[in-house]
Structure 1
Amino acid sequence: MTTIAVTGHIDLTEETVPLVRAALREVLGPYSAGLTGVSCIAAGADSLFAEEVSAMGGRLVVVIPSLDYRDVHVKPQDGPVFDHLCEAAVEVHTLPYESVGRAAYEAANSELLRRADRVVAVWDGAPPSGRGGGTADLVEEARRAGVPVDVVWPDGAARRG
């Protein structure tokens, strides 16, 4: 049994989504028997990863950064996928932060890392933003902790903006 956590960009272009899905299938494939995926199921990389784990028959564990996360952070167009993934999860762990923010995101990253045997990072390699709790931050934490990181950024992938 292998537990893989995800971190990744939320602002993937529409053209990048199928590229990332295919790359995730390839990375997760060897672990499909007995796979547990851990995700905050944010839009973009987190939810794509969670969908692929579920499609492979893996167990999905959801970590929600704060009590108000669904109401404040999840955009209306992303709500149906977020809700579906919560329903599909074998466990939904909501952190005890009243509101979403840097502390909640950093705590969510720590929880992902605490549970993970490996980390998959849908990441363009950009350095940390300095805001804390982002993709690059979790990659750095994982590497410092000796947790293997698989970076997924297929040729042609891009971020919006």
Structure 2
Amino acid sequence: MYRYEPRDEKSSLEQMMSKFISATETRFQNQDASIKGLENQIGERLLLQLDQLEEFRNLAYDLALSYKEKTKKAHDKRIIEREFKEGENVLLYNSRLGLFPGKLKSRWSSPFVISKVYPSGAVELQDGKDETFTVNAQRLKHYMSGTIEPQLGITRFQDYPN
């Protein structure tokens, strides 16, 4: 009744192996394609983030530069241009008294005479003992000697009739 026909085992094994290999290859090819697609997406995202980071750095640099320009302009506005000539009397600012000020102590030292003015902004001073020393001109201010005579002015008020 039933007749057993032997199959060619070698060919069926080869067929099974080839089917398995082809299925595995297609699976790996699909995974490889999806991995390449993810790599492209990640690469594009990283490039976008790098561009955004560079834009942020440029913006921060521009804002810092504008802040520096504004503060320099405000600082330069407060600087008083002073020109000193030889033979003038000047007062010297004592910066050490700025740290520990006395209540009524003046921070300006007694008048000195200018003996030489350098183009770099340095000034050579001479004190009463004929000793000379060099200081920055920004620490000096002109000394106005002499007495100030008060001017008396009489103001008269008139009564206006109501």
Give the TM-score band, short-chain normalised. Answer: under 0.3
Asked which structure has the greater CA Rg, the reply is: 2
Greater helix fraction, Structure 1 or Structure 2 = 2
